[in-house]
Amino acid sequence: DAKTTQPTSMDCAEGRAANLPCNHSTISGNEYVYWYRQIHSQGPQYIIHGLKNNETNEMASLIITEDRKSSTLILPHATLRDTAVYYCIVRVEGDTGRRALTFGSGTRLQVQP
Amino acid sequence: DAGVTQSPTHLIKTRGQQVTLRCSPKSGHDTVSWYQQALGQGPQFIFQYYEEEERQRGNFPDRFSGHQFPNYSSELNVNALLLGDSALYLCASSLLGGKLFFGSGTQLSVL
């Protein structure tokens, strides 16, 4: 699986949009970009994933650049409950080998009141 | 619908002992994966089970073993515990390689 690079930490004001970047310059054509987050003392939680088109769900939006070498997770109106570590992961979806997720160190997002 | 459940939530063992952790997958899921998360680090893949067999394994010694039962639940066993085995152990379930759903983990402390 392609490696990802994320900033170690970020701050965001409550109510503002949080934009979390991720670089994945070695991504392959069949690899999806996944985002998970981990709130303190809990297991990671799936947020969103995409291949090449922008995606949006009730939690967040995912913007993938045209060359697919980077992406941005957007939390449109951050709340204190969004304080967590955010992981950007690339992997093949529906892989018959059911490939494991490879987590990096993630971005620690601190939402400030 | 219950999500992924793990037991126990916390456990304290001493060096050299053996431990068994348990996981029940989300309803309808057939694949269970186990991860180890040391303090301040991202989760590290241990192994994955489906159809009651170990299908993939990360870079962990054979002191770490597992089992999957016909009802898809799973156990993680660690023998000859070391201080460095202290970590949060996470179970995740999925269906057909789709997105993973994680439990809240078992916090293991080895003294």
**Cβ proximity of B11 and B108 under 8 Å:** yes
Q: Is A34 on the interface with B (CB under 8 A)?
A: yes
pLDDT of residue A1: 65
Q: What is the pLDDT of residue A78?
A: 96
**Are B97 and A99 an interchain contact pair (Cβ–Cβ within 8 Å)?**
yes
Angle at A36 between CA B110 and CA B51, to 5 degrees: 70
Residue B108 has pLDDT above 60, yes or no: yes
User: Which residues from chain A sit within 8 angstroms of residue B105, using beta carbons?
Assistant: 42-43
Give which of A101, A102, A107 to mutate to test B binding, by max B Cβ within 10 Å.
A101
Q: Which residue of B has its CA nearest to A47?
A: B99
Question: How high does pLDDT run on average in chain B?
Answer: 94
**The tokens 């993938």 sit on which residue?**
A64
Contacts of A49 in chain B (CB under 8 A): 99
Q: How many CB atoms lie within 10 A of CB B82?
A: 12
Q: Which residues of B touch A97 (CB under 8 A)?
A: 55-56, 97
Q: Please, which pLDDT band fits residue B12 given cuts at 50, 70 and 90?
A: very high
Query: Is the CB of B101 less than 8 angstroms away from the CB of A41?
Result: no
Measured CA to CA, the distance from residue B73 to residue A102 in angstroms comes to: 23
Answer positive or negative: Cα dihedral of A40, B28, B7, A34.
negative
Using CB atoms within 10 A of its CB, is residue A38 exposed (0-12), middle (13-18) or buried (19+)?
Answer: buried
A 68-97 residues inside an 8 A Cβ radius of B: 85, 87, 93-97
Share of chain A above pLDDT 90, in %: 76
Q: Nearest CA to CA, how far is B3 from chain A (Å)?
A: 11
Rounded to an integer, what distance in angstroms lies between the CA atom of residue A47 and that of residue A92?
A: 17
Determine the Cα–Cα distance for residues B1 and B5; give it in Å rounded to an integer.
11
What does the alpha-carbon distance between residue A35 and residue A38 come to, in Å, rounded to a whole number?
10
| Residues of chain A predicted below pLDDT 70 | 1-2, 93-98
For chain A, say whether B24 makes contact (Cβ under 8 Å). Answer: no
Instruction: Tell me whether B58 touches chain A (CB under 8 Å).
Output: yes
Q: Check CB contact under 8 Å for B99 and A102.
A: no
The reported pLDDT for the residue numbered A97 is 46
Report pLDDT digits (tens) over B16-70.
999 999 999 999 999 999 999 999 899 999 999 999 999 889 999 999 999 999 9
